[in-house]
């Protein structure tokens, strides 16, 4: 993604785009796809016309937010779901700012509220919440005898998981609307039907399969991915946390490297421990880089481009993004196991839990290792079982025991 000083003008998927914030959308600002621009000195530059368009849109928004545009009015009427949603989003932003936890780009892309609002807004944005009926979510078409409504639309166009997320956000929004006096707490129309969660993923990897992936990745030149997978297997970190690891977070004990970090999703402290093999892979990858990693720079990087232009210098590998990490992992997975294989990098996190449980580790210990709420009570877990290295290494030992048991019981 290129960089530009003009607000809301971004370079994405080989095109310049104007991306308004969620506060601008109610005033009619829309996501716009502009031109490809030009490349000057290895940088993507928007065309003068696209730059001017973005500047004019920003100037219009500045007039609106400063109250200088007399005709500027939100499209959501007073007392509507849309008005309530904007108030809730504003309060959430203020609460995060007060706590010093403003969202970075990765956290913003995973925020379920704007994602769910894309579906909720066309149905209920201008509606009085007291006028909404259960049939607006789910009903039978009198002509076709087929189910219709928001629930059906989300499931059909995306997935059951997306439907579950949207209704979950709606129910949370309803509670906040009730607290602000827009509706009655017990009158949520979505409570008239169930919001069944999708079946949990069950896919797991074995140690041997991960070793094959790492070796294949290294041979094909994806050394950053190879080290990332080795780290993922031992640490049980999620992909988003792996992408943010830095050398400044690292320490070492006799068994290998240890990364101290706060998990991106939960904010909980984690000690990501590696064994000797994963530590060796990580060190070999870092030593292979043609540049020195700064303490706060992300460790795992793409292969980079051979050259930037004809006769140009090699392009340095860039830190992995969410999409690029998934794309490269898919390339290696297909190369090693074929196109029918669908397991993901994130499944390694679950695989470690299976090993640890088989080796005798209890839920509380595994929860400490993974820095999540696997144990019964997140509050008690945080209070009485803070992260400590001894517990984390005990889980590593349990994984080795469980791995041996799983090998013995593997069907022939």
Predicted confidence (pLDDT) per residue in 178-224, tens digit: 999 999 999 999 999 999 988 777 888 999 999 999 999 999 999 99
Residue 4 reports pLDDT greater than 80? no
Please tell me whether residue 9 adopts helix, strand or coil conformation.
strand
Residue 32 reports pLDDT greater than 80? yes
Cα 200 from Cα 206, distance rounded (Å): 19
| Predicted pLDDT of residue 22 | 81
Residue 174 reports pLDDT greater than 50? yes
Strand ranges for 191-288 from DSSP E: 250-253, 256-262, 269-273
Q: By the 8 A CB rule, do 270 and 258 touch?
A: no
Which residues have C-beta within 8 Å of that of residue 268, sequence separation ≥ 6?
262, 371, 372, 382, 387
Average pLDDT, the chain: 85
Residue 93 reports pLDDT greater than 70? yes
From residue 114, how far is each of 71, 86, 119, 173, 199 by CA, in Å?
26, 10, 9, 12, 24
Structure tokens at 21: 């914030």
The more confident residue out of 48 and 66 is 48
How many CB atoms within 10 Å of residue 126? 14
Element spanning 352, H or E: helix 347-358
- Crossing angle of the two packed helices 81-98 and 160-179, in degrees rounded to 10: 90
Residue 411 reports pLDDT greater than 70? no
Lowest-confidence segment of 18-27, 127-136, 231-240, 263-272 by average pLDDT: 263-272
Question: Phi and psi for 276 in degrees, rounded to 5?
Answer: -65, -40
For a pLDDT cut of 90, what percent of the chain falls above it?
46
One CATH from 1.10.10.10, 3.40.190.10, 3.60.20.10, 1.10.443.10 for 207-408: 1.10.443.10
Q: What is the pTM of this model?
A: 0.61
How many CB atoms within 10 Å of residue 255? 15
Cα 154 from Cα 145, distance rounded (Å): 19
Residue 104 reports pLDDT greater than 70? no
Structure tokens at 82: 């849309």
Q: How confident is the model at residue 254 (pLDDT cuts 50, 70, 90)?
A: confident
| Predicted pLDDT of residue 107 | 67
pLDDT in tens, 124-150: 999 999 999 999 999 999 889 999 999
Cα 155 from Cα 33, distance rounded (Å): 27
Cα 88 from Cα 67, distance rounded (Å): 21
Q: By the 8 A CB rule, do 141 and 152 touch?
A: no
Structure tokens at 409: 């019981």
pLDDT in tens, 345-399: 999 988 888 888 888 877 777 777 776 654 444 443 343 334 456 667 788 888 8
| Predicted pLDDT of residue 106 | 63
Strand ranges for 58-203 from DSSP E: 139-140, 147-148
From residue 93, how far is each of 98, 101, 103 by CA, in Å?
9, 9, 9
| Nearest CA among 136, 129, 92, 98 for reference residue 112 | 92
| Predicted pLDDT of residue 309 | 47
Characterise 170 by phi-psi region: left (phi > 0), alpha (psi -120 to 50), beta (else): alpha
Cα 357 from Cα 350, distance rounded (Å): 11
How many CB atoms within 10 Å of residue 20? 18
Highest mean pLDDT among 59-63, 109-113, 378-382: 59-63
Bridge partners, 319 (sequence order) = 301
From residue 99, how far is each of 103, 111, 264 by CA, in Å?
11, 17, 16
Residue 331 CA, chain-centre distance (Å), reads 20
């Amino acid at each position: 993604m290129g960089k530009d000083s003009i607000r809301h003008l971004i370079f994405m998927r080989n095109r310049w785009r104007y991306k308004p914030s969620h506060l601008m959308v109610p005033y009619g600002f829309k996501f716009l796809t502009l031109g490809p621009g030009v490349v000057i000195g290895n940088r993507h530059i928007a065309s003068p016309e696209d730059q001017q368009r973005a500047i004019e849109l920003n100037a219009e928004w500045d007039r609106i937010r400063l109250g200088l545009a007399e005709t500027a009015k939100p499209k959501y009427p007073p007392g509507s779901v849309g008005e309530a949603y904007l108030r809730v989003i504003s309060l959430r932003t203020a609460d995060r700012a007060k706590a010093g936890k403003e969202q970075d780009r990765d956290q913003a892309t995973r925020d379920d509220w704007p994602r769910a609002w894309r579906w909720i807004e066309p149905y209920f944005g201008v509606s009085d919440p007291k006028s909404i009926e259960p049939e607006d979510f789910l009903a039978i078409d009198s002509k076709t005898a087929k189910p219709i409504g928001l629930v059906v639309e989300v499931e059909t166009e995306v997935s059951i998981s997306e439907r579950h997320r949207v209704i979950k956000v709606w129910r949370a929004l309803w509670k906040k609307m009730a607290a602000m006096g827009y509706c009655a707490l017990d009158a949520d129309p979505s409570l008239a039907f169930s919001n069944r969660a999708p079946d949990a993923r069950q896919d797991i990897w074995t140690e041997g399969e991960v070793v094959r992936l790492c070796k294949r990745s290294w041979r094909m030149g994806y050394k950053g991915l190879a080290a990332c997978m080795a780290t993922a297997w031992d640490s049980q970190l999620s992909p988003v946390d792996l992408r943010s690891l830095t050398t400044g977070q690292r320490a070492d004990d006799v068994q290998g490297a240890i990364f101290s970090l706060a998990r991106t999703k939960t904010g909980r402290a984690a000690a990501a421990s590696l064994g000797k093999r994963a530590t060796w892979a990580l060190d070999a990858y870092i030593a292979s880089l043609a540049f020195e990693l700064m303490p706060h720079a992300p460790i795992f990087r793409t292969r980079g481009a051979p050259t930037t232009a004809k006769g140009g210098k090699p392009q340095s590998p860039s830190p992995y993004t969410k999409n690029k990490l998934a794309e490269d992992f898919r390339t290696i997975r297909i190369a090693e196991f074929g196109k029918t294989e669908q397991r993901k990098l994130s499944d390694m996190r679950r695989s470690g839990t299976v090993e640890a449980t088989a080796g005798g580790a209890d839920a509380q210990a595994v929860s400490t290792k993974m820095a999540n709420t696997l144990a019964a009570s997140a509050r008690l877990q945080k209070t009485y079982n803070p992260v400590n290295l001894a517990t984390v290494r005990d889980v590593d030992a349990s994984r080795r025991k469980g791995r041996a048991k799983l090998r013995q019981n593997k069907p022939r």
